[in-house]
Structures are given as C-alpha cells and as structure tokens.
Amino acid sequence: MVKTEGINNPPLGRTKGGDRPMSFMKTIAKVLATTALVSAGSAAMAAKIAVIGGSNDDAFWNIIKKGIDDATPAVVANGGEVTYLRLVNYDNFAPDVVQLIRTAISMEVDGLVIPNWVPEAEDPAIKEAIAAGITVILMNAGGADKATELGAINYVGSDEYVAGLAGGDYFGKAGKKNVICVNTLPGAANTEARCKGVIEGVVAAGGKGTQLPLPTTSFGDATAVAEAIKAELIKDGTVDGVITISAGDADSAAIAVSQAGQATPAMLGSFDMNQAGLDRIKGGTQGFAIDQQPYLQSFLAVGLLASAIDFGTDLPVFPVLTGPGIVDASNIDATLAGVKLGAR
C-alpha cells in the first residue's frame, strides 16, 4: 500500500574518499541561495518534483519530511511543486516502491528523489523514469556507484557500509568482542550494507560480528523485535554489543538488554536516532547512535534537484555525503539542542 502526500507551501556532504571541507559547506549554501534569488527574479522553468519515502510509522522518514518541507518554499517560489509519496508500511516492500516510482512517472514530474532500497526491483523502474526525461537524484540508499550506473545526477546520503564500519570500530574501541547487528529489513541494500560494515569493523578490531535477520513484518513490532533479541542474548551470553538498523528497533533492543539478565549488559548502539534513544545516551543506557542527518538528505536533494532542473546548476561534489557521525556522551547535549529545532 502506498500513500501520496502533496506539499504545496509549507549543513554537509564530503568529497569522495575524504572529510568534508568547510569550502564545500559554503558551496552548498551558495547554490541554494542562488536558487532562491533567481526564483524571485525570473520566470525560469517550474520544477515539478516527487520524493519517495518510508512509512508514516517510521520516525526517521518524518525527519526527512521536515527537510522536504523546508526546501519546498524555494521550489514553490518559482512556480513549482513538491509531492511526497510515502509507503504505508513495509509488508509488500519492493512492489510498493516500484508502484510509487510508476506513480511519479504517471504524474509527469520533472524530477524524482528516491532511495535505491531494493535495486533488483527498483532499477528497471528508475531507468524507465530517466528514459521518460525525469531527472533523478538518489537519496538515503544506493550510493554514488549506483547513481552513476542508473544515470542519476547525484547521490545524497550516507555511505551505509562506511557508517557500519564506524559503528563496528566504536564497539571495538569500547572493548566489545561479540556484536550482533539486528536487521529487521533483511535483503534491503542499505540495511545489508550497514550490517556488513558493522561486522567487518568489529572483526578488524579483533572481535566477532554476526547479523541477526528478522522477518520484515517485525519492523515496527516492538514486542516481536524485543523478544527475538532477548532470546539471542539468553542463548549466547557472550554477546556484549547489540546494534539495530533503525532507531525504533533500538527501543525494542533496550528492553531486551534490560530483561536478558546479563551480568554486564550488552552495549547498545543504533543506526539513526529518536528522542528515546537520545535520552538513553544521555542517561548512560545506550552507548551511541550513528547519525546520517536525514534532514539534510532531503533538504539538499530537493533544493539541488530543483536548481538543476530550473537553472541548469551543477554541484561540483559527487556524492554529497551527510554522514556518518557518531552521537554519544561526548556530544549528546549539542545534539539535543539540534533536536529542539526539529533538524536532528
């Protein structure tokens, strides 16, 4: 099932293979500022853009929506529009995503922002969109190589494998030797890359890493996820690190860790973050979260796509990476301040 949400009116990456410089942040600011200025002073092409995103029940994608909302006024100022096409749930994941792509094509949009979650299902439909003259930016999932392969003009998001490596390295530096990566969306390219990175990062640090795949129907089912993780911790008492592929799953993992009866509770980490997870980090019951800055992903993707369509602008950085960043006790206060502003 899918849902269509219209939005009519309501910083950053790094160069490939290196840290993002301040000059790049200034470049982004100039590009988006130019978009707004030209919009106000000319009758350029009005971009009609569709953004495809995850379920309403997935808090991560509500932060993505905030970025879309904030980027939309510049598009609207030039006579364009942005439509957010969302999955209702993940039960029929790949076919529903393809349906959304075909919906965007039927809308005759000029631009499409889309995660490349399930390449084998999505790639033909994305190629169809590009063949129809739609300019595409991959966001959140897919990466630079996939963007090049498909003919998308850029990728905006985190490198999921690199993010996983960062998580595995964090566990290693904390002395953890047996880490499980809980995957409630097994088979999705981005979550598989996350767990692969974690496992290889832990192994590189001298430990052991294992993926715990759960049925996709368990995503969002707090009880099912908590029970599965608790069972694993009881079965193998040597597990000293648990990381989940989403912030919501970390809420379930926190319950599992507290109920497993380990002498020393396993360190908990998560990809992405929510208020409950940040509160746990602040309180010391969660070690860290890997932040890919979803607000920036959608804000930049929409703004840069509109600018490319309307004014032919080009971004001199490929890909535009918004993460990974580690949130832990050392920077939790600054992160919470960003949450109050709705951008973290």
Domain ranges within the chain, ordered by starting residue: 2-158+293-323, 160-291
Q: Which of 219, 239, 335 is nearest to 280 (CA)?
A: 335
Going by C-alpha positions, the residue among 293, 285, 282 that lies closest to residue 333 is: 282
Q: CATH assignment of 2-158+293-323?
A: 3.40.50.2300
Q: What angle do CA 291, 297, 300 make, to 5 degrees?
A: 140
What does the pLDDT read at residue 343? 64
pLDDT of residue 51: 97
Those residues whose C-beta lies under 8 Å from the C-beta of residue 37, and which sit 6 or more positions away, are none
Contact of 143 with 155, CB cutoff 8 Å:
yes
Instruction: Output the CA angle 197-20-336, nearest 5 degrees.
Output: 75
Closest to 233 (Cα-Cα) out of 198, 258, 206: 258
Q: Residue 324, preceding bond cis, omega within 30 degrees?
A: yes
Residues of the chain with pLDDT under 70: 1-44, 316, 342-343
**CATH number assigned to the domain covering 160-291:** 3.40.50.2300
Overall residue count recorded for the chain in this entry: 344
Tens-digit pLDDT profile for residues 118-172: 999 999 999 999 999 999 999 999 999 999 999 999 999 999 999 999 999 999 9
pLDDT of residue 89: 86
Fold match, 2-158+293-323 / 160-291: yes
**Is the overall model pTM greater than 0.85, yes or no?**
no
| Strand spans (E) along 30-149 | 48-53, 81-87, 111-114, 135-139
Q: Strand pairing partners for 181?
A: 211, 243
